[in-house]
């Protein structure tokens, strides 16, 4: 399977070749951080990822980023996804997951 093939899940298309996100076939603007965050969550749908796992995946293990940054980006990403924002769930005290 092509690792760069668009990831399609619940009406959301994440195109890794073009770094674009489409919701119901309409492109939505996202930052590069939000793109990587959405791709990570969607490609691990149903699996809870801790804030630290998210930070390490996006920034690398040696990069210092506050966990609050993840919270802020999740909130912003949910807003950008509109009606599809509910697909990103919070596991209180643990992390986040994309509805599988």
pLDDT tens digits along 13-52: 999 999 999 999 999 999 999 999 999 999 999 999 999 9
Which CATH number goes with the domain that contains 54? 1.10.10.10
Q: Which residues form the domain of 45?
A: 7-98
The pTM (predicted TM-score) of the whole model is 0.90
Residue 42 lies in a domain: yes
Banded model confidence at residue 3, pLDDT cuts 50, 70, 90: low
Banded model confidence at residue 62, pLDDT cuts 50, 70, 90: confident
Residue 1 lies in a domain: no
- What is the count of structural domains for the chain? 1
Residue 2 lies in a domain: no
CA dist., res. 1 & res. 86, Å (int): 29
Higher pLDDT, 60 or 7: 7
């Amino acid at each position: 399977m092509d690792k760069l093939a668009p990831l399609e899940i619940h009406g959301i298309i994440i195109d890794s070749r073009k770094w674009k996100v489409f919701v119901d076939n309409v492109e939505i603007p996202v930052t590069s951080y939000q793109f990587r965050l959405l791709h990570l969550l969607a490609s691990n749908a149903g699996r809870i990822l801790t804030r630290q796992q998210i930070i390490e995946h996006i920034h690398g293990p040696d990069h210092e980023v506050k966990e609050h940054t993840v919270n802020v980006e999740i909130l912003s990403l949910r807003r950008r996804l509109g009606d599809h924002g509910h697909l990103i769930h919070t596991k209180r005290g643990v992390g986040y997951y994309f509805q599988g």
